[in-house]
Amino acid sequence: MRLAFIGGGNMGEAMLAAILEKGLSTAENVTVSDISEPRRRYLKQKYGITVTGDNRQAAVESDVVVLAVKPQQFAEAMSGLSGRLHAAQLVLSIVAGVGTGTLCRALGHSCLVRVMPNTPAQIGEGISVWTATAEVSKEQKAQAAAILGAMGRQVRVTDERYLDMATAVSGSGPAYVFLFTEALTSAAVDIGLPDDMARELALETVLGSARFMQGSDRPPAELRRMVTSPGGTTAAALARLENGQFTELIKQAVRAAYERAKELGN
C-alpha cells in the first residue's frame, strides 16, 4: 500500500509506526509531508521513509492519503491538495471536528474515511471510531480497518453523528482518566503518603481495575458492588462521591464535550 501522510506529528507518527510494524506497508512506499523541517529530518532518520514539505507531491502517487494536521491547520494544508486527487485515492482524515461534508468541499474529493482516534493509539492501545462515504470501496474499507486496527481497536459506524459522540467519550476520555488519576494521587498525598508511592498506587489501581473490568464478564456496577461492604471503607468513599453527584457530573462533562464537538463541526 502506497501511503502519504499530510502532517507527521504525534498521531501521524503513531499511525506510521504501527503501519510499518504490522507490515501493512514498507518505508519505501511511505511519504510524509510536514511543514516542520526538524520533524521531517527526525521521521526520515527514524523510519527511513521519504519526506517532503510539499503536500501535493506527497499525495500524488499514493493509494491512501492520511490527513493528520491540527484542525486550525486544516484549511492551509488542504489548499495545495484541492482538486488534485484522483477519484480512486482514499483520504483518511483524523482531523478532529472536521466532517466528511467539509472534507469533501475542501478537497473536491469524495472517497473519504473520517476517524476519531484516541491518545492510547500511540502505544497500540487506542480505540478508533470511523465512518466511510459511499464512494469508498469494500477493499478500501478493509484497508482503513487494517490501518486503524494496527493502533488498537476500531469500530466502523454508518451514521456520522456517532463520531461526535465518540469524540466526547473515547476521544476526550483519556483526559478524564488522567484527571481522575491526578486527583487520586493528590488525595493520597493529602492523607500522608509519600509522592512517589501515591503516584504508583493511583496509577496501578487505575490500570489493574481497567484490566480486571476487561477480563470480567460482569458489568462494572456489579464489580463495584462486590468490593463494597455495607458500612465499610469503600462504602464511605462512594457515598461521599455520590453526595458530590459524581455520576451526574460525568454525564454533564460528556454532554459538554458532545455539544462542543457538534459546534466545532459546523
Ligand X SMILES: NC(=O)c1ccc[n+]([C@@H]2O[C@H](COP(=O)([O-])OP(=O)(O)OC[C@H]3O[C@@H](n4cnc5c(N)ncnc54)[C@H](OP(=O)(O)O)[C@@H]3O)[C@@H](O)[C@H]2O)c1
Rounded distance, CA 165 to CA 172, Å? Answer: 10
Rounded distance, CA 146 to CA 33, Å? Answer: 22
Helix-strand-coil split of the chain, %, nearest 5: 60, 15, 30
Residues 6+ apart with CB under 8 A from 91: 64, 65, 67, 85, 103, 107, 109, 111, 112, 113
Give yes or no for residue 100 binding ligand X (CB under 6 A).
Answer: no
Beta strands at 64-67 and 50-52: parallel, antiparallel or unpaired: unpaired
CB of 75 to ligand X, least distance (A): 9
Q: Within 183-222, which residues bind ligand X (CB under 6 A)?
A: none
Q: Measured from the CB atom, is 50 or 188 closer to ligand X?
A: 50
CB burial readout 25-62, b (16+ within 10 A) else e: beeebbbbbbbeeebbeebbeebebbbbeebbebbbeb
Among 8, 152, 173, 265, binds ligand X (CB under 6 A): 8
Q: Within 108-137, which residues bind ligand X (CB under 6 A)?
A: 117-119
Contacts with ligand X, 10-49, as mask; x by CB under 6 A? xxx--------------------xxxx--x----------
CB of 8 to ligand X, least distance (A): 6
Q: Within 66-85, which residues bind ligand X (CB under 6 A)?
A: 68-71, 73, 76-77
Q: Near ligand X by CB under 6 A, which window of 17-25, 64-72, 200-208, 210-218?
A: 64-72
Binding site for ligand X (CB under 6 A): 6-12, 33-36, 39, 55, 68-71, 73, 76-77, 94-96, 117-119, 171
